[in-house]
A and B are shown apart, each in its own frame.
Chain A
Amino acid sequence: MMRLFLRSLVKRKIALTGSGVVLLILVLALFSPLIATHDPMGLNTAERLQGPSSAHWFGTDHFGRDLFSRIVYGARLTLIGGMGVVFYSVVFGVMIGVLSGYYRQFGFVAMRLVDVVMSFPALLLALAFIAILGPGLANVIIAVGLNFLTRTARIIFGLTLKLKEEVFVEAIRSIGASNARILLRHILPNLMSPLIVQATFTFAFSLLQIASLDFLGVGVPPQIPSWGNMISEGRIYITRAPGVLLFPGVFIVLTVLAFNLVGDVLRDNLDPRFRDQFSGR
């Protein structure tokens, strides 16, 4: 199945471009110290708010810090944040979704809760959680992940309901398989491909939300370079040095776009039984 996904990625040019961008960001994050030309925290007030030059490829910010190096290090935080949200929302989303689909009484209660949480605007909910937990990357992941958890749970719930009625599940039950065995060995593997699609979209949209929280000043602490708080800090200087707005923003857009493109192609190549579950966001 993995091969099927990889093949569909290579076949479509647009998805290949998307995967290329994802790979680029991954390289930036893994080898930040080797790629960065300057210390991302290095203050140099003599060279503040400069345009792009051979010394500073993307120019400098209001403290004279090198924008290129900060963006390279920011890739780390972007990937950690996105992966954190994906991991957290997939693990709990699948757990709640599968159990709700399989055990109807549990599902009735759990899905009402999911409905209620989904009726709160995502960013407001995240803000409320951060008001309680305080800022910081881990809390941002928990706050943003909650919203995606409910979406994943809702999709997995629908899919499990469908799978449960399939003939092969009935056949396995009739030869005496336990509930745990049916869930783990037969239902879960069948959910893998829609789950990968959902994870890709979760990654893309969670990046936007994490960046928004950074921008509002309630995300990761300002001393850590992230693409969101680079824009937030630089916003009052945008008329003097548009680079502080342009470069981090372009990197956010490119990354989100790349994940969205990959997600679109994966969805198109998905098992047709599941495709209609993904009509929404």
Chain B
Amino acid sequence: MLKYVVKCLLSMIPTFLLASVLIFSLMHLMPGDPAAVMLGDTASPEQVQELQVAMGFDKPIYVQFSRWFTGVLQGDFGHSIFFHKPVLQVIRDRAEVSLFIAVLSMALIIITGIPIGVISAVWYNSYTDQACSGASMLAASMPTFWLGLNLMLIFSVVLGWLPSSGFPSVVESGNLGNLRYMVLPCVTLAAPNSALIIRLTRASMLDVLKEGYVTTARAKGLSEVLVTMKHAFRNSLISIIAVVGFTFVGLASGTVITETVFSLPGIGRLVVESVLRRDYPVIQGIILVITVAYMVVNLAIDFCYTFLDPRIRIS
């Protein structure tokens, strides 16, 4: 068991190294001088020169990389060109909204996706199943921003039930009522991902329900609820959990859109702003932070496997 944990942790190192090389080289893929590109057309040659020295662009590329990478390992992601602040601080200032959206949406995805998927599979080909499958297909085919704008139009403009945009900090004000600003963004973000989980839960439940041990459980005279929950669901959980990792990456992309639609001051919005401002250190920093977060989630999922599936623990 311990060996397995160590192996998982060690396998993260090359991935992290490779990811950092890729993220670093993104900045150097740009045609032309990065300093000149970052400052835009209005910069004077002296300013460009100054930035080049400040960012170390005048050094050879491997020196630049090792300097950047040692910085990253020490938690120094460089300086934002636009904010004149450390990148990590810029990211931290924007993190609250995004964390709320991510955690609440993930919860919503799991508590809607998995039960609906199970019900669809148990009542295979019934009207309920067809309605659920149809709805999830529709949700998966919808652009996130379009769904968000529609929800905003219906629930905040026409009905006036929920606020349409912005997010007053919950942590600073201590007012949990502010969470109602999160309702529409979270529903928007959860819908397509929830659809994915429904489809996969249904498919993996259908596979498991065909297995011999399910028939055996039925033949023993167990109630249908017990067969479904104890024998079928627990075994299909392994493939469902694998998808949760993928969903996390999907969430990071979806947050960018959702935060733009609902004008939320989060990390996703920061990426788009940084792309438009050509603030490369911030873009690099965010991608790296999200990649690391994804790796940690995947690691957690790997550990979950070992608890769910004893076969992995033994081999």
Q: Are B275 and A131 in contact (CB under 8 A)?
A: yes
A131–B146 touching, CB < 8 Å: no
* A131-B290 in contact (CB<8A): no
Which one of B59-67, B167-175, B226-234, B278-286 contacts A? B278-286
Contacts of B203 in A (CB 8 A): 279
Q: Is B294 an interface residue (CB 8 A)?
A: yes
A249 contact from B143, B260, B271, Cβ within 8 A: B143
* A245–B19 CA distance with the chains assembled, in angstroms: 38
- A127 contacts B by Cβ under 8 Å: yes
Closest-CB distance, B283 to chain A (whole angstroms): 6
Bound Cα distance A239, B174 (Å): 33
Cα-based distance from A102 to B122 in the complex (angstroms):
41
Find A239's partner among B15, B153, B286 (CB 8 Å cutoff).
B153
- Determine whether A141 belongs to the interface, using a CB cutoff of 8 Å to chain B: no
Contacts of A117 in B (CB 8 A): 22
A215 to B149, CA, bound (A): 11
Residues in B with CB closer than 8 Å to A279 are: 200, 203-204, 239
What's the interface size class on A, roughly? 35 or more
Q: Which of A113, A128, A280 has the most CB of B within 10 A?
A: A128
With an 8 A cutoff between CB atoms, is A95 at the interface? Answer: no
Interface mask (A111-131 → B, CB under 8 Å = 1, otherwise 0): 011011111111111011111
The answer to whether B143 and A124 touch across the interface, beta carbons within 8 angstroms, is: no
A sample of 16 cross-chain residue pairs with beta-carbon separation below 8 angstroms, ordered by A number, consists of: A113-B18, A121-B252, A123-B257, A125-B287, A127-B272, A131-B274, A131-B275, A208-B141, A211-B143, A211-B145, A252-B142, A256-B141, A257-B137, A260-B140, A280-B200, A280-B246
Interface of A, secondary structure class, is: helix
Q: How large is the interface on B (under 10, 10 to 19, 20 to 34, 35 or more residues)?
A: 35 or more
Q: Tell me the nearest residue of chain A to B243, going by C-beta.
A: A280
Bound CA span A200–B85, Å = 45
Query: A231 an interface residue at 8 Å Cβ cutoff?
Result: yes
With a cutoff of 8 Å between Cβ atoms, the chain A residues found around residue B29 in the complex are 132
Docked-complex contact B22 and A116, CB < 8 angstroms: yes
Query: Taking the complex as formed, is B196 at the interface, i.e. its CB lies under 8 A from any CB of chain A?
Result: yes
Which of B137, B253, B274, B290 neighbours the largest number of chain A CB atoms within 10 Å of its CB? B253
Closest CB of chain A to B153's CB: distance in Å? 5
Q: With A132-B30, A257-B137 in contact, is A124–B252 under 8 Å at CB?
A: yes
Contact A217 B276 (CB under 8 A): yes
Q: Is the CB of B157 closer than 8 A to any CB of chain A? A: yes
Q: Given contacts A121-B290, A216-B257, A280-B246, are A239 and B157 in contact (CB under 8 A)? A: yes
Complex Cα spacing A199 to B249, Å? 22
Whether B26 and A128, one on each chain, are in contact in the complex, defined by CB atoms closer than 8 angstroms, is yes
How far is it, in angstroms, between the C-alpha of A245 and the C-alpha of B275 when the chains are bound?
25
Once the chains are docked, how many angstroms separate the CA of A228 from the CA of B261? 13
Q: In the complex, A113 Cα to B140 Cα: how many Å?
A: 28
A52 lies within 8 A of chain B by Cβ: no
Q: Give the docked Cα–Cα distance between A136 and B142 (Å).
A: 23
Contact A124 to B30, CB < 8 A, known contacts A218-B272, A253-B141: no
- The answer to whether residues A119 and B291 also contact, given A215-B145, A245-B146 and a CB cut-off of 8 A, is yes
A75 to chain B, nearest CB (A): 16
Q: Is A281 an interface residue (CB 8 A)?
A: yes
Which residues from chain A contact B137 at a C-beta distance below 8 Å?
Answer: 257, 260-261, 264
Chain B proximity of A201: nearest CB distance (Å):
11
Which A residues are in CB contact (< 8 Å) with B276?
A: 217-218
Would A124 and B280 count as touching, CB distance under 8 A? no
Residues of B within 8 A of A257 (CB): 137-138, 141
Using CB atoms and an 8 Å cutoff, list the residues of chain A in contact with chain B: 112-113, 115-125, 127-132, 204, 208, 211-212, 215-218, 228, 231-232, 235, 238-239, 242, 245, 249, 252-253, 256-257, 260-261, 264, 279-281
| B150 at the A interface (CB under 8 A) | yes
Chain A to chain B: the 3 pairs with minimum beta-carbon distance, closest first: A123-B253, A121-B252, A256-B141
Q: In whole Å, how far is B10's beta carbon from the nearest beta carbon of chain A?
A: 14
Bound complex: CA of A22 vs CA of B274, how far in Å? 37
When chains A and B are docked, how far (Å) is the Cα of A117 from the Cα of B291?
A: 10
**Contact between A119 and B15 (Cβ–Cβ < 8 Å)?**
yes
Cβ contact within 8 Å between A238 and B15: no
Interface string of B149-160 (1 = CB under 8 A from A): 110010001000
A121 to B193 Cα, complex, angstroms? 14
With contact pairs A112-B14, A119-B295, A215-B260 given, residues A124 and B253 touching in the complex (Cβ less than 8 Å): yes
Q: Which residues from B are CB-within-8-Å of A232?
A: 145
- Within 8 Å by CB of A231, from B145, B253, B283, B290, lies B145
Question: Which residues of B have CB within 8 Å of A249?
Answer: 143, 146, 149-150
Give every chain B residue within 8 A of A124 (Cβ-Cβ). 252-253, 256, 271, 286-287, 290
Checking A112, A132, A208 against B143 with a beta-carbon cut-off of 8 angstroms, the contacting residue is A208
With A218-B275, A245-B146 as given contacts, are A260 and B200 in contact (CB-CB < 8 Å)?
no
> Which residues of chain B are within 8 angstroms of A280 by Cβ–Cβ distance?
200, 243, 246
